[in-house]
Amino acid sequence: MDKKRITYVIFPFMLIGLMLFITYFGPQWYSETFGVVGKDYSWIFKNFNNLVPFLDWTIYPYVIAYPVWMIGVFVIGYYSKKKLYNVLGVVIVTFLICGAWYMLFQSDVESWRTTSGLFINNDYATPRTDLNFTESLVMMIYMAAGPRNALPSMHTLNSWICIIGVRGNKRIPKWIVILTWVFNIAIIVSTQTTKQHYIIDSIVALALAESAYWILRNTKFTKWLEKIFTKLNSRYGLDWDGIIR
């Protein structure tokens, strides 16, 4: 294992973390602080939404999303500089779009969550008191995340970006590619079966990720990102070869 193929990803990874914090948690804080009531988009593909079951055990792939994404970024970077900076460009643009959308057109899935059976008489203010461990974990996520920032689904967005990063890269061992697909598809499915998102939230996120990738890949913007981070990494001895590709 080449250490510098890992260390040069640190600064891009830090930027991704900062972008996520600002564009997701910023609008969440703003909405809760100022009492912004989001729109319920359940009417879009309503028949499909009504068919989606609540599966409490799917909270487990949902909660491992952050370590899966973190590992995914370093895997992408380890095997391809070019793909890393293409993905970084997608992250920057799509995260900014999501953050702006949450601020301007906040969404709400409170009524969707009440169909989980975890609330007494479908009243969001009165959770059941006899929840088992898995159901309690779902409730903890409900309370921690709040019912906002649903459209687009950033869980779906981030998972699909990880898939984009390994897709078609023949340098990555097949077992890593397969695990990346399995874990991230499981996370995307869990957004529905935990009642965290409507299907439109995931559809928009998938379209956003794919569109951004095909528009931005190998553009001056992604090459500029590579140039900036290569210089930064070279200064601190973190880059594996210091070559801008």
What was the pLDDT predicted at 4?
79
Confidence of residue 146 (pLDDT cuts 50, 70, 90): confident
What was the pLDDT predicted at 60?
98
Burial of 52 (0-12, 13-18, 19+ CB in 10 A): middle
Q: Tokens for 212?
A: 């951004």
Confidence of residue 243 (pLDDT cuts 50, 70, 90): low
**Mean per-residue pLDDT for 29-44?**
92
C-alpha to C-alpha distance for 35 and 12, rounded to whole angstroms: 34
When mean pLDDT is compared across 78-82, 106-110, 240-244, the lowest value belongs to: 240-244
CA dihedral 221, 225, 228, 232 (to 10 degrees): 180
C-alpha R_g of the chain: 19
Confidence of residue 244 (pLDDT cuts 50, 70, 90): low
Q: What mean pLDDT, rounded, does the chain reach?
A: 94
In this prediction the pTM is 0.95
Contact 222, 216 (CB under 8 A): yes
Report whether pLDDT(59) > 90.
yes
Report whether pLDDT(16) > 70.
yes
